[in-house]
Structure 1
Amino acid sequence: MYRLPVINETDVRALPGIGRREAIELAAAENAAFIAELKALPPVAWDGITDCDPWTVKDVAAHVLGWAEAAMSWREFRHQMAAALRGWRSNPVHAQNALQVEERKHLTPDEVVERLEVALPALLCLRRRLSLPGRLIPLYNPLFGLTTLSFAMDVIFTRDVFAHRIDVATSAGTELSVGPNDRRIFADCLRHWARNTQANLRFELDGPLDGNYLIGKGSVASVRGRGTDLVRVLAGRLAPEELTIEGDRERALAWLAVPCPF
């Protein structure tokens, strides 16, 4: 796994992208962290509403489970794709996500965790097999446009689990347990976002995802807040105005309004 440099300020533009081998390592670590987080929740936390309103913590876990189980079964995959096609005129991803949650409403929290412990490793095996040939398979998603199956499997799926770990922690009122894998995923999100926006900012972040990050020359504005809140902003879960901005506020808010694919 690529280790972020231990310096006072990280220029995200200089960071390398996530390669195939590292992607698998990050996914395995993130999956394990997600399951550990769910196992540590008290029963009452599973009914808490998340930033993905009206989803509860259990719904978020069921959504992650739904994606993984689609990879385990061709029949389940076709079933979910049919739901996506039926929702094509509005939002196919939302239609598929809604099906994943609705069809797993009957599961108890323990059952969700047990099935995740089987499904997530199975999905990881599929990702290993498809990562290289997946570079040749185009994929369109309304959230991030035209890309490849490899990008979705190597990057987006892991970011999705990472963001949902923050959703769970925020809802449950717990502190996110952060390891090198989380910092690497977070920095790669900022690198991707910086490339898409051509922003010119400094991030001075505290909390479990603390750190100082340079975007461009960093001369237009400084943005301060919790690192987890910045993820929530870039994922469309939190308004950019919740962060503290010094400098050209209008330009900073315009950049922060551009989402990063999760």
Structure 2
Amino acid sequence: MAASTVVIDQVPPLRRQEAATRAAEENQRFVNCVRALDRADWDRPTDCPSWPVRDVAAHVLGMWELTSSVREFVHVQRGGHRAARGRPLIDGMTEVQVTDRAHLTPAQLVERLATMAPRSARSRHRLPAPLRRLPVKQEFDGTTETWRLGYLFDVIHTRDAWMHRVDIARASGQPLVLTADHDGRIVADVAAEWARRHGQPFRLQLDGPAGGRYAAGDGGEEISLDAVEFCRILSGRGAGTGLLTQQVPF
């Protein structure tokens, strides 16, 4: 195995302190992304069905406010149950978040995002240990899984903002800022969870600033593609074959 190839089970999980650093950085990059949008960009369609750019930004703002306020968390949970109407709860919750912020102008969205970016990162980091261990039910890929609240706050919320930054960059045509230390770490964590979920041997070559080489076991599929496209496929935004049909939560 080449020295530059990482054995996938040697990729360390995102622990609390590092997760806080990644959250703070990603939140600020998301703010920078929406600040750079032109007026027309806010109405452009994204890879999220029925969501233009402004709705993606409203959802991200809603998640940041949810993680920073118990009152908002309860409001979105209750409203989400009513809005879901047989769909997964998260669909109802995001619908509430977007609807609640539909009156905000792009400038107001940017202002509130800038205010909430550091606050949300701090709130997630300060979540007490007993709450971090709380089990939460999540519907994912057709099944109900049990996650720890700490995993949801440390990992999923950062992946969510990251992927929506990708959505907005693709929709608007603006450059997507990617670095190995930040984006590459998020992608590596995604690849490690993907490997745990499918449990098969593979060789994975991910290109671009956020890329890397990963492997597990002997033989298996050999996969080579752009790192961002890899994540888009695993999130359900693109079509994959073979081991790339294994989705990962974002």
Q: Normalising by structure 1, report the TM-score.
A: 0.86
Over the aligned positions, Cα root-mean-square deviation in angstroms equals 1.9
The 5 Å alignment of 1:17-96 reads 17-86=13-82, 87=84, 89-96=86-93
The CA distance in 2 between the partners of 1:33 and 1:209, in whole Å, is 15
2:121 is equivalent to residue 124 of structure 1: yes
Task: Give how far 1:53 is off.
Answer: 1.6
Aligned residues: 244
2:200 is equivalent to residue 203 of structure 1: no
Determine if contact 1:210/1:227 at 8 Å carries over to the other structure. Answer: yes
Name the amino acid aligned to 1:231.
C
The 5 Å alignment of 1:1-262 reads 8-86=4-82, 87=84, 89-130=86-127, 132-143=129-140, 145-179=145-179, 180-217=181-218, 219-240=219-240, 253-262=241-250
What's the % identity of the aligned pairs?
Answer: 36
Query: Using a 3 Å threshold, how does the CA distance of structure 1 residues 62 and 258 change in structure 2: closer, same or farther?
Result: same
The CA distance in 2 between the partners of 1:37 and 1:43, in whole Å, is 13
Structure 1 residues 121-175: Cα deviation after superposition (integer angstroms, max 9, x where no partner) = 2222221221523333111111271011111111111111111111111212233
The CA distance in 2 between the partners of 1:225 and 1:172, in whole Å, is 23
Q: Normalising by structure 2, report the TM-score.
A: 0.90
Structure 1 residues 31-84: Cα deviation after superposition (integer angstroms, max 9, x where no partner) = 111111111222222211111121111111100101112233333222211122
In structure 1, the gaps of 5 or more residues are 1-6, 241-252
In structure 2, the gaps of 5 or more residues are none
Task: Give how far 1:17 is off.
Answer: 0.8
Moved more, 7-16 or 99-108: 7-16
Determine if contact 1:13/1:216 at 8 Å carries over to the other structure. Answer: no
Name the amino acid aligned to 1:191.
A
Determine if contact 1:12/1:188 at 8 Å carries over to the other structure. Answer: no
The CA distance in 1 between the partners of 2:210 and 2:235, in whole Å, is 15
The CA distance in 2 between the partners of 1:42 and 1:171, in whole Å, is 12
